[in-house]
Amino acid sequence: MSPAKNLNQTESRDNSSGEDENPQKTEENQETKPDKACDEQITRMFILGPSANISSTELVRKLHMMELPLTIKTTCYGAAISGDKDAVMNAVGEIRKVDPYNIFTKDRGFPPGDPRRCRAKRGGAREGFHQLEKEFELLDDVSKALKNPRKVKIKKIDKISPDEFRVIAENCK
């Protein structure tokens, strides 16, 4: 199912409860130690491939069942999670095991539901969605390639000498 077709679907935003998950709460820390806070609070997107065994609803249910301190958001392409780096990476590892060849993940700069990017506030698709939509078309083939790996030779491109270049240039005249 193409994410574009589901663009108008309603998004639900779920917090798996707990005060620590509120992104606003970390603002004080960010002011004093911006780099450390950035490293600790990360956002990841889960993108379900076209042949995935699970739906985004099931994906979100599984994320909730992990009982990790995460902000979880259902999206048309899968889900977005935000929280401490350790918890997020833990969830990424666990979710990949569910369907290793059809669940893809990617970092995201803005937190889920951020009013500066969220289409619920701005209208239209957010900037990164266009690229996601384009890459989504290739995901089925990517998962097939991952399932059936083949040995390939990588051709190394060497620099050419000035003499060789001169010959090529002269031939082009």
For residue 46, the SS3 value is: strand
Closest CA to 72 of 147, 21, 36: 21
H or E, element range at 43: strand 41-48
Contact between 83 and other proteins by CB under 8 A: the answer reads no
Kindly tell me which of 5 and 150 has the beta carbon lying closer to other proteins: 150
138 binds other proteins (CB under 8 A): yes
Q: Which is nearer to other proteins, 1 or 145 (CB)?
A: 145
User: For other proteins, which residue of 68, 87, 108, 112 counts as binding (CB under 8 A)?
Assistant: 108
Among 157, 158, 161, 173, binds other proteins (CB under 8 A): 157
Tell me how far apart the alpha carbons of residues 97 and 111 are, in angstroms, rounded to a whole number: 24
Burial class (CB in 10 A: 0-12, 13-18, 19+), 83: buried
Binding mask 12-51 for other proteins (x = CB under 8 A): ---------------x--xx--xx-xx--xxx---x----
What does the angle CA 136 – CA 74 – CA 26 come to, to the nearest 5 degrees?
Answer: 110
Helix (H) or strand (E) holding 48: strand 41-48
Looking at the Cβ atoms of 120 and 167, the one nearer to other proteins is 120
Q: Is 111 in the site for other proteins (CB under 8 A)?
A: yes
CA distance 92 to 95: 5
Q: Which residues are near other proteins by CB under 8 A?
A: 27, 30-31, 34-35, 37-38, 41-43, 47, 104-111, 114, 116-117, 127-128, 130-132, 134-135, 138-139, 141-142, 144-146, 148-154, 157
